[in-house]
Amino acid sequence: MEKGSKTLRITAHELESRDLWPLLREMEEKGWLERLNLLDCGEGYSLEIEVRAEQDIEHSERLVKDYLEGKTILGNSPRTARDVGREIVETQTVRVEQGKIDKLLALAGELIVSTNVLTHLVRRLEDLGLPVEMVREFKEYQSSLNRTSWGIQDVIMEMRLMPVGFVFERFRRVVRELGQELGKKVQFKVLGDEVTIDRNVAAIIYEPLLHLVRNALDHGLEGPEERIRSGKPEEGELLLQAERKGEHVVIAVKDDGMGIDAGVVKSKAVSRGLITQEQAERMGFNEALELIFAPGFSTKDEASAVSGRGVGMDVVRETVERLGGKVMVRSELGVGTEVALELPISMSITKVVLLDCGGLYGIPVGEVKEIVKVEASRLHSLKESEVVVLRETIYPVVRLSRVLDSRAVGVEGNELTLIVLLAGVAIAVPKVLGEQDVVLKNLPSQLSHLNLFTGAAILGNGDIALILDTSIFGRMV
């Protein structure tokens, strides 16, 4: 057996002599095992065991050595070490670095951009009056290439996906230790851990979820005595749940605690100068819940070591919206609270509605409810804002040309084109160009201050479109 800083290599001869399955299971239960690598040594295979931390290597070496020498007996399994090695070989899996998959996905994105270029060229050929048969052949080739490009992209996307359960499992220890620290009995449950999500998204959402879990333990769940007085079981319940909805994943943190007291929230907001007493009195329950997203807001006078660690609900919302998602809060006093994060499965390629407003802009199709044209006379003034009534629903109207300080014409005419967002806001735009699949690119650091945009995309004809952050419009009304 050979030892590295974080690895133990068991030779082919040693593999023949012992059943390693109980050993591997023991290492996994102790939290030492990171991964297994089967290495071809020419004369046979050797098994490389990688541990999670360097301080685990000494314990792992002692356990493996004692087990191989027969000094330690672990469990009982009918499979031999050769069976374990054969199973690893026959899984037909290949380990690929994340960076290579990212590069492959970037190339697939460029391929999709190229197919968009071809679409643009086909339209030009039609305008030039080429024979119909020739244009038809070009269109068939373009359609075939488009299907192939998206097929490649879909396969690569599947390679980037991982079960959200890998993120959820990290919270078991957090809940157990914080529950003991706070003197609260907590039953931690997980649902939907098999739902898959992009690895990059999973890495980013850990901190927001950690804050929500800490908040639920600190602010939401009551202590055993208080729960008994309220007629509840002394053991509180904290649930992490994931659910696939179309091209999004909804991750919810639910507790059966005391719920959010809207009166307390409004009182704290008034004392901190966020709203006036008059505004608080007119404010409904859902409006009061929005106050928890104010920077630095807390219902506690002092931040504890559990929650309030510099990552407030405003940062949670900002992080989720930067990913193209949204945060929803539901609460009932005395029953519990649910905070749900709606996240895109992937952040790379998306379909957008393209707009011309003195420049090219895009809005993700997934954020659009409908696109309608209305007479300008249907707009009404309400508290220094404009609104429109569509099918008995009132929508605040934001004129994109004014937001962008653009001199684009068309929006001030007698007829308005409105893009109605799922967020409940209508955006008046000069011209809608249609829909297109685009590869999203992050804005360079020099433009990171432009919080109106989530990124940019290169179109088929080489033009660049800026992708609008639709969450901004909801805050303008």
Domain stop point among 115, 138, 161: 161
> Stretch 303-315: mean pLDDT, rounded?
62
Domain stop point among 43, 76, 92: 92
Length reported for the chain: 477
| Same domain, yes or no: 442 and 382 | yes
Domain limits for position 422: 349-475
Name the phi and psi angles at 440, rounded to 5. Answer: -75, 135
301 or 379, which is more confident: 379
Residue 168, H or E segment: helix 165-168
Mean per-residue pLDDT over the chain, rounded: 80
Specify the pLDDT at position 19. 61
What burial class does residue 350 get, using C-beta atoms within 10 Å of its C-beta: 0-12 exposed, 13-18 middle, 19+ buried? buried
How distant is the alpha carbon of residue 406 from its chain centre? 33
| Same domain, yes or no: 335 and 223 | yes
Residue 79: CB partners within 8 Å, gap ≥ 6? 19, 21
Answer yes or no: is pLDDT of 78 > 50: no
Domain stop point among 142, 161, 180: 161
Per the CB < 8 A criterion, the answer to whether 438 and 110 are in contact is no
Specify the pLDDT at position 422. 85
Specify the pLDDT at position 13. 61
CA atoms within 13 A on the CB side of 428: 26
Distance CA 240, CA 210 (A): 11
The answer to whether residue 1 sits within a structural domain is no
CA-to-CA dists, residue 338 to 239, 250, 260, 330, 331, angstroms: 9, 12, 10, 5, 6
The answer to whether residue 303 sits within a structural domain is no
What is the number of structural domains in the chain?
A: 4
Least confident of 128-142, 261-275, 385-399, 417-431: 128-142
Specify the pLDDT at position 410. 46
- Tell me the pairing of strands 248-255 and 235-245: antiparallel
Specify the pLDDT at position 420. 92
The answer to whether residue 419 sits within a structural domain is yes
Answer yes or no: is pLDDT of 382 > 70: yes
Residue 292 maps to which CATH number?
A: 3.30.565.10
Distance CA 265, CA 329 (A): 14
Q: Is 377 helix (H, G, I), strand (E, B) or coil?
A: helix
Specify the pLDDT at position 65. 78
Specify the pLDDT at position 305. 54
The answer to whether residue 281 sits within a structural domain is yes
The answer to whether residue 373 sits within a structural domain is yes
Answer yes or no: is pLDDT of 205 > 50: yes
Specify the pLDDT at position 437. 77
Least confident of 13-22, 152-161, 173-182, 193-202: 13-22
What is the biggest distance separating any 2 CA atoms in the chain, rounded to whole angstroms? Answer: 89
The answer to whether residue 302 sits within a structural domain is no
| Same domain, yes or no: 441 and 361 | yes
Kindly report, residue by residue over 397-441, the tens digit of the pLDDT. Answer: 998 888 887 555 444 567 889 999 988 899 999 889 988 878 777
Distance CA 5, CA 149 (A): 43
Query: In 299-456, which ranges are continuous DSSP H helix?
Result: 313-322, 400-403
Answer yes or no: is pLDDT of 253 > 50: yes
The answer to whether residue 279 sits within a structural domain is yes
Confidence of residue 311 (pLDDT cuts 50, 70, 90): low
| Same domain, yes or no: 185 and 289 | yes
Specify the pLDDT at position 213. 94
| Same domain, yes or no: 77 and 44 | yes
Kindly report, residue by residue over 209-223, the tens digit of the pLDDT. Answer: 999 999 999 989 999
350 or 254, which is more confident: 254
Kindly report, residue by residue over 100-138, the tens digit of the pLDDT. Answer: 888 888 788 778 777 877 877 887 888 888 888 888 888
| Same domain, yes or no: 316 and 459 | no
Specify the pLDDT at position 15. 54
| Same domain, yes or no: 114 and 133 | yes
Task: Identify which of 433, 334, 347 has the alpha carbon closest to the alpha carbon of residue 105.
Answer: 347
| Same domain, yes or no: 166 and 275 | yes
Specify the pLDDT at position 87. 54
Answer yes or no: is pLDDT of 39 > 70: no
Specify the pLDDT at position 34. 76
Per the CB < 8 A criterion, the answer to whether 258 and 334 are in contact is yes
The answer to whether residue 223 sits within a structural domain is yes
Residue 270, H or E segment: helix 262-271
